[in-house]
Copies of this chain bind each other. A is one copy, B any other.
């Protein structure tokens, strides 16, 4: 153009400079030259990859075009996924079977499986698997957790598979329509290829490609510009960012992603593994308090060791530990053969076991005998957990680790529940400190996750030393809407615009948000400096982070891989 249309070219060069100066951003300019005359048709800030976004932001700051606060506005937090997840080795030769919608970024390779149970089973044996379904439902959740990635032939960017996978930070391709999935036959067909269970496939969640066989991966290298932008974000933001982490490994990952503490450590996850589930079941099936205490005594050292690991990983940072939350029946098996095996291994009659399972089963477990209701009916569980926390804290403190435990009582609806649980925890702490000859400073607070806690937050703040909003459950109770059962109508609600957004993805500011606001006002009326955070999945959603900033919360807590997103979103919130 410079040679063939030199006049227009020089004009164009000048106008581009003007537009870039004016908008202080990379411009995507449409133009045409007719009979030597230049026409500028349209200009807009250019779309770019995450790499390009952080690069241009840093360059523009270097060139003095924009300041750092403007620079963080130039990077879309959701784009960071591209910098944080593995990608296919660009050098690898690949056979693309088909292309679906890029529902959740990253890339993964694994054996195709067609059922959630099978996915869990193979993954349990250490096999990387990719769950392939026509579409997923909440029943497939455990299979999605177990899989490296998820592929569906139906559904769009807001389908169940897409939403859940993004929440888990897991690679996902949906709506790959040319895929003919035969779940019963455990195979899929596409353009003459037929893939059976166990055969290798590879997914690219950033482009939607479905690839035959195993492909080499490139681990993500965010690059220097990314770290530069994140350091600016950390300087600018007022919200702290913590991670939800249940194991020492999670805690380390969280630290690597820049988490400034753990906002939610779910103690029940510790009870599902290996030998522990057996001890847990002994505890649940105990006929007397003495038997229950005996079983709990065996769980104590296991739980203490977990806390030791987590405290060490979080040296210098607070760790919020939630006391046992799920209903006890979640720890018991359901299928007939599993029940028989359990009865056998525990040496109790199958009838007694069945009866125990029956007695514990619930119509609406989400609203049942769980949370602090467990600790109040079985105080010995709270005692064991408190002892494990404080013994672990004393132990690591002796080794020079700075430890800040925050004990969190779940599902409080009435201040009296918290008062009783708090008394028990404090008594146990005092005992452990006396035994250890060492005092550890700690906080005792509560999840705010039912509407009653929000409207009585002033009463609750007379006992709690911190609030943490459990926005998942708060959304469920505020809407009267079970996330597990929403599959039957929520997709239609979103498609038909009955709801503007999925309230489990981004916080419903008008309804749930109003209750959060009422609770913040109530709590801070009683304790003006009350520490308040959120620990639902919303903690990693940029719009929800912005909302938390506006409400003056102290921190958000989210899955480790979402921590950078939350850090950037928190910085952007300052100027929005």
Contacts and interface: CB of A to CB of B under 8 A. Distances in A.
Contacts of A420: 498
Given A477-B477, A477-B478, A456 B364 contact: no
Contacts of A510: 455-456, 459
B488 A368 contact: yes
A416 B498 contact: yes
Contact of A477 (B138, B411, B417, B451): B451
A414 interface: yes
Interface in A485-523: 485, 488-489, 492-493, 496-499, 508, 510-512, 514-515, 518
A479 interface: yes
A362 B481 CA distance: 12
A411 B367 contact: no
Contact of A478 (B451, B473, B498, B514): B451
A574 interface: no
B512 A452 contact: yes
A566 B492 CA distance: 42
Nearest to A488: B369
Contact of A480 (B413, B498, B515): B413
Interface string A42-81: 0000000000000000000000000000000000000000
Contacts of A518: 455
Nearest to A511: B452
A363 B493 contact: no
* Max count, chain B CB within 10 A of own CB: residue among A473, A499, A511: A511
A498 B364 contact: no
Interface string A318-351: 0000000000000000000000000000000000
* Max count, chain B CB within 10 A of own CB: residue among A138, A371, A452: A452
A365 interface: yes
A312 to B, nearest CB: 35
A488 B414 contact: no
A504 to B, nearest CB: 13
B373 A489 contact: yes
A311 B367 CA distance: 37
Interface in A454-493: 455-456, 459, 473, 476-482, 484-485, 488-489, 492-493
A377 interface: yes
A377 B191 CA distance: 36
A449 interface: yes
Main secondary structure of the interface of A (DSSP, over half): helix
A165 B564 CA distance: 57
Contacts of A449: 480
A376 interface: yes
Contact of A377 (B360, B364, B492, B497): B492
Counting every copy of the chain, the complex holds 2
A493 to B, nearest CB: 7
Given A473-B480, A477-B477, A481-B413, A456 B514 contact: yes
A388 B477 CA distance: 33
A480 B515 CA distance: 14
A372 to B, nearest CB: 10
A55 to B, nearest CB: 42
A132 interface: no
A450 interface: yes
Interface string A348-390: 0000000000001011111111010100110000000000000
Contacts of A485: 362-365, 367-369
A183 B366 CA distance: 31
B498 A369 contact: no
Nearest to A361: B485
B451 A515 contact: yes
Contact of A364 (B364, B371, B411, B413): B364
A138 B368 CA distance: 13
Interface string A298-322: 0000000000000000000000000
Contacts of A489: 369, 373, 376-377
Contact of A482 (B362, B413, B452, B512): B362
A416 B499 contact: yes
B363 A366 contact: yes
Contact of A413 (B365, B455, B511): B511
Contact of A411 (B377, B480, B492): B480
Contacts of A481: 367, 413
* Max count, chain B CB within 10 A of own CB: residue among A367, A371, A476: A367
Contacts of A498: 376, 414, 416-417, 420
B455 A514 contact: yes
A291 B285 CA distance: 48
A363 to B, nearest CB: 4
A477 B482 CA distance: 11
A362 B416 CA distance: 32
15 contacts: A363-B482, A363-B484, A364-B364, A368-B482, A373-B489, A376-B489, A376-B496, A377-B489, A377-B492, A413-B511, A452-B480, A452-B508, A452-B511, A456-B510, A456-B514
Given A363-B484, A367-B481, 5 more contacts: A367-B480, A377-B489, A413-B481, A451-B477, A452-B508
The 9 tightest CB contacts between A and B, nearest first, are A450-B480, A367-B482, A451-B451, A368-B485, A364-B482, A452-B511, A369-B488, A363-B484, A362-B485
